[in-house]
Structure 1
Amino acid sequence: MSEPTISSRRGAFDRYGSTSPASRPDGLADILERVLDKGIIIAGDIRVNLLDIELLTIKIRLLIVSVDKAMEMGIDWWRHDPMLSTDAQALADENRKLRERVEELERDGE
């Protein structure tokens, strides 16, 4: 009768003693890749009422996706945010100058 051998391969058993690869959980990178590829939406409302009078309502909407997936969905607010985009900053500066010029022309016309 031969003695049982112990595998020197690390991670051969999961915490339940199973060696089945199907029961092995995915790594964090795999899970993150799936989440960013498909997306997750978390939505919730918090309401505070006192005697049927609504005092406070907080609406929470969270969307977690990759930039590519967001653009597929038509979400691209970061392109127009002056704090995140140099092109948007230039546009904001141009708009400010145009408003100042319009105000100047309106004052001169009075």
Structure 2
Amino acid sequence: MITQVDFFKCLSDPTRLSILKLVLNKQNICVCELQEQLELSQPKISRHLALLRAHAILVDTRQGQWVYYSLNPNLPDWAVDILNIMARQDDGLMKSQSEQLVSISTFCE
């Protein structure tokens, strides 16, 4: 189970925070979609995803050759509450990312 300190350490990094916001928005997201949205390299995104998985904030599911990430359904209630508050915030970033998610052309499918 994740501690509050580890949870907030994960949220303190701008890249991990952006990844979590995209996961919250899309529910189930592939690395290639994160690459396109965040304009970062696959190794950098994978390193952040590995930390989020190690702390059990995200879980991964393999579908063919692709790996999709989603929130861990077993997160403590306090963590889910915080993430839900984040999801409701309109900070401009989420609005632009949300609009772009609709138009993403990925090779994941």
Which TM-score tier does this pair reach, normalised by the shorter chain? under 0.3
Larger proportion of strand: 1
Larger proportion of helix: 2
Structure showing greater relative contact order (alpha-carbon pairs closer than 8 Å, 6 or more residues apart): 2
Superposition TM-score, scaled by structure 2 size:
0.19
Larger Rg: 1
